[in-house]
Each structure stands twice: as C-alpha cells, then as structure tokens.
C-alpha cells in the first residue's frame, strides 16, 4: 500500500482516485473549498461523477499543503512504500498547478491531461520541464479510458510513458492491478501526441455521425485521422509504432465511437446546428478537443504538416464554417496515395 495524491477533482481525477483507493491510501485535492467540503460530507463527487461513493481509504481536501504532505517521503510507516503524485487537471491548468508546486520536491509525478498548450504549442512534458527548470522524474499516464467505466471498475488498459525507466516501473507497480492493466513505454512524445489529437478527430466523427453520413464515413475519418496523428507525431520525434497502440489507435477508436466521449458529443451537437458556445456551456465538462484544435492547427502550419481533418474541424469551431461544408471540403481534396 502506498500514499497517492491526485491533484484535480474532475471526473477523470476522481475516477482514477476511486480505482486506486481500493489498494492504496488516496488523497483527492480540488481547489474549490466549498465543493470539496460538500464532496467530503456527501462522500460523492456529485457535479462530475454522480453515483459513485468515495471509500474510507480516500480523503478529499482543498488544502494544498495537506495534499502534498500526504505524499511526502516518510508519510507512511512502511519505509519501502513509494508515493505517487498525479496531476489530473486539463492541459490549460497544468502550468498554474505546477506553479503552485513551485520548487517543492515532487515524488514520482504523472499527469493525465491530453493536449497541446495553446499559445506555446507545448506538450505536457515540455510544460513541466519549462516550469520546473530542472529534470523531473515524471511521465504521462494515458490510454483509452472513460471516467465512468473506470469508476465502475470495468476493465481498462493504460500506458505510462516516461524517459525515466525507474518512474515507469514504479507507476506500473502502483497502478497496475485489479481490472486496470498498465503497460509502459519510453515514447513520451508519441503517447502525448496521440492523446491530444484524437480529441480533435472525435469532433470530426461526431459531426459526420450527426449529419447521418454512415459508418463508412466514420471509418474513413478514423483511419485518415490516424494518419494525421502519425504525421504530426513522427515530425515531433514520436515513434510510428506508438500510434498503432493503446494511446494512438486505441484511444482514437474509443473517443470517436463511444457515446461517453465529450468531444464526439461536441461534433454531434454542432451538426445539429448549435453554436459552439452553447454546446460547451451545455456540456458542463471540459472538451479538450476544442482548444486543442486551435493549437494543433497552428502547430501543423508552423511545421508544414498536412492535417486536413484537423484544419476542417478548426474551421467549424473558430472560423464559422458550416459542418456540411467541412465534409464537402474534405471530399473535394485531390486524389493522392494513401500514406
């Protein structure tokens, strides 16, 4: 048993905390003191993950110092236990969260966020390196996973990616177990790119499904979307094989086809004629594909990477393009070899 702190009490952070609390002492931190007090009293995260009771092995707090003290070296009687700190914020919140950590020692840091930071175009691991200004034993925990299913204890497979082999081994030892299977790899760039861009492509497939274009169109978008992910990922230094695994093809298929996908829901609602502001407001949760589409379009243009589906999605989201026109634009592209 180890001490684990999850920083971020949204749906995914809560679900991961619930899963780990069956085997470890888990502290879930959220910045809203009133919301955390309500959660502690109700033993449920009503706004984000209703219907799942928080076990006795899981504490909730808005006290940042207390959350970090939970994973301080020596917090457990067992001196061999390894603490783990999990950042479960959206990618836009990673830099502010790291700022709160300042120069404090960080034990075995992993982040769950998926996306590029808009403005800088940085991946999460690059944000970590820039803010900390020093090497950090950290990595990304990613893969095809819906919060509700993880909270239910349904089977799930994730990948921890890090340049640090010892960190990968520690995370696997702590997280792998029960119905959660954890693989590891050293391709941090590839894992992060796959997790980011698949959200944009899920919006595209949602639009296609909302327009009633059929399963053939969905399969084409997923397949060509995977080609876009691979082109950008390898251009950034990722390994092509990574995009055929859990954090590439696996996460892409789940997010594009699963009814629990927020990003797919954005596409469905846009196809129905709703405006983006209304869709986001009604969703009530962060849909990472929306800001990611803007960031990826800018990055791909800067790098000269061809990403027509991503560009079409960004056009609908930010340029006022009609969803039907998005499909027509993609179909009107000149024939080319499949690559």
Q: What is the DSSP letter of 143?
A: S
One domain for residues 94 and 201: no
pLDDT of residue 328: 77
Residues 204 and 300 in one domain: yes
Active site residue 198: yes
Each residue's pLDDT tens digit, 244-261? 999 999 999 999 999 999
Q: Report yes or no on 336 lying in a domain.
A: no
Domain of residue 269, CATH code? 1.10.1040.10
The set of residues, in sequence order, having a beta carbon less than 8 Å from that of 124 and lying 6+ positions away, is 91, 94, 111, 113, 115, 117, 140, 192
| Residue where a domain stops, chosen among 186, 205, 230 | 186
Mean pLDDT over each residue of the chain, to the nearest integer = 93
- pLDDT tens digits, residue range 195-252? 999 999 999 999 999 999 999 999 999 999 999 999 999 999 999 999 999 999 999 9
pTM equals 0.94
Do both 9 and 85 map to the same domain?
yes
What is the C-alpha to C-alpha distance for residues 25 and 58, in angstroms, rounded to an integer? 6
pLDDT-derived band at 335, boundaries 50, 70, 90: low
Catalytic residue among 114, 198, 274, 275: 198
DSSP string, 205-232: HHHHHHTT-HHHHHHHHHHHHHHHHHHH
Residue 170 has pLDDT above 80, yes or no: yes
Residues 9 and 77 in one domain: yes
Cα–Cα distance measured from residue 308 to residue 314, given in angstroms and rounded to the nearest whole number: 10
State the average pLDDT over residues 17-39: 96
Residues 306-333: pLDDT tens digits? Answer: 999 999 999 999 999 999 888 777 877 7
| pLDDT digits 0-9 by tens, 88-142 | 999 999 999 999 998 788 889 999 999 999 889 999 999 999 998 877 789 999 9
Q: How many domains does the chain have?
A: 2
pLDDT of residue 305: 97
Edge to edge, the sheet with strand 180-185 lists 58-61, 25-29, 3-7, 84-87, 109-111, 138-142, 156-161, 180-185
Q: Is the dihedral of CA 276, 277, 282, 284 positive or negative?
A: positive
Residue 79 has pLDDT above 60, yes or no: no
Helix (H, G, I), strand (E, B), or coil: what is residue 113? coil
- 208 and 182 both lie in a single domain: no
């Amino acid at each position: 048993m180890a001490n684990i702190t999850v920083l971020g009490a949204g749906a995914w952070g809560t679900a991961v905390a619930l899963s780990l609390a069956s085997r470890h002492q888990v502290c879930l931190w959220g910045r809203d003191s009133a919301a955390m007090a309500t959660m502690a009293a109700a033993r449920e995260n009503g706004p984000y993950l209703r219907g799942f009771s928080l076990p006795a092995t899981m504490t909730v707090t808005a006290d940042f110092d207390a959350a970090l003290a939970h994973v301080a070296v020596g917090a457990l009687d067992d001196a061999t236990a390894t603490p783990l700190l999990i950042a479960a914020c959206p990618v836009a919140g990673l830099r502010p969260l790291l700022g709160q950590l300042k120069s404090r020692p960080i034990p075995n840091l992993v982040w769950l966020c998926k996306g590029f930071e808009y403005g800088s175009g940085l991946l999460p691991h690059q944000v970590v390196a820039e803010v900390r200004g020093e090497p950090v034993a950290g990595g990304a925990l990613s893969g095809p996973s819906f919060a509700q299913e993880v909270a239910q204890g349904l089977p799930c497979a994730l990948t921890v990616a890090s340049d640090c082999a010892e960190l990968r081994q520690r995370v696997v030892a702590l997280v792998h177990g029960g119905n959660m299977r954890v693989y590891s790899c050293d391709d941090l760039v590839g894992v992060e790119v796959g997790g980011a861009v698949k959200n944009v492509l899920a919006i595209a497939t949602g639009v296609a499904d909302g327009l009633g274009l059929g399963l053939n169109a969905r399969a084409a978008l997923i397949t060509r979307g995977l080609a876009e992910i691979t082109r950008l990922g390898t251009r950034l230094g990722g390994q092509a094989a990574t995009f055929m695994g859990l954090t590439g093809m696996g996460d892409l298929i789940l997010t594009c086809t699963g009814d629990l996908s927020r990003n797919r829901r954005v596409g469905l609602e846009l196809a129905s004629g709703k405006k983006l502001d209304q869709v986001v407001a009604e969703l009530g949760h962060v849909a990472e594909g929306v800001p990611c589409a803007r960031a990826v379009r800018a990055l791909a243009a800067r790098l000269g990477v061809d990403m027509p589906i991503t560009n079409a999605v960004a056009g609908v989201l930010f340029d006022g393009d009609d969803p039907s026109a998005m499909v027509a634009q993609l179909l009107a592209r000149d024939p080319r070899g499949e690559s």
